[in-house]
Amino acid sequence: MVNPRYKLAPTVQSKPSGDCCILLCRETGAMYGLNHTGARIVAELQEAEDGVSVGTIVPGLLRQFDVRQRRLKADLVNFFSELEKRGLVLQCTEPCREQGSEPRRVSKKKTTPSAH
């Protein structure tokens, strides 16, 4: 199983707003407000030169927030998925800063609903 790593997209700027943050996509002009938890995750994204994976970010967040590990992992997967859909993060399957490996969008296979 591939453990993807994530980085903020180069067109995204993060601005603190109290204990929250605002993500601005310079490409589209769209702004997204994140709560304290989302702001902490964005801080992790900004601090990690080779990107973060769900597995690498979980231990620190477990120490900061009163949440079960299974729930946190599921929430992180959903959070990164939403950010990726909006073009705010890029996904890579190897460390994002390896020579010749830049963050890139990874297309996901589209599924068609089956008839019942």
Domain residues for 50?
A: 5-92
Calculate the average pLDDT of the chain.
82
Give domain status of residue 28, yes or no: yes
Residue 100 lies in a domain: no
Nearest to 42 by CA among 97, 74, 89: 89
Q: Is 100 exposed, middle or buried (0-12, 13-18, 19+ CB in 10 A)?
A: exposed
The per-residue pLDDT for 102 is: 45
pLDDT digits (tens, 9 = 90+) for 73-85: 999 999 999 999 9
Domain-embedded: residue 64: yes
The per-residue pLDDT for 116 is: 39
- Cβ 79 vs Cβ 67: under 8 Å: no
Q: What is the pLDDT of residue 110?
A: 36
CATH classification of the domain holding 80: 1.10.10
Asked if the structure places residue 49 within a domain, the reply is: yes
**Contact by Cβ (8 Å): 94, 82:** no
Is position 115 within any domain?
A: no
Pairing of strands 20-25, 12-17: antiparallel
Residues of the chain with pLDDT under 50: 98-116
How many structural domains compose the chain? Answer: 1
Q: How distant, in Å, are the alpha carbons of 10, 33, 71, 90 from that of 51?
A: 13, 21, 22, 9
14-25: per-residue pLDDT in tens?
A: 999 899 999 999
Whether 104 is covered by a domain: the verdict is no
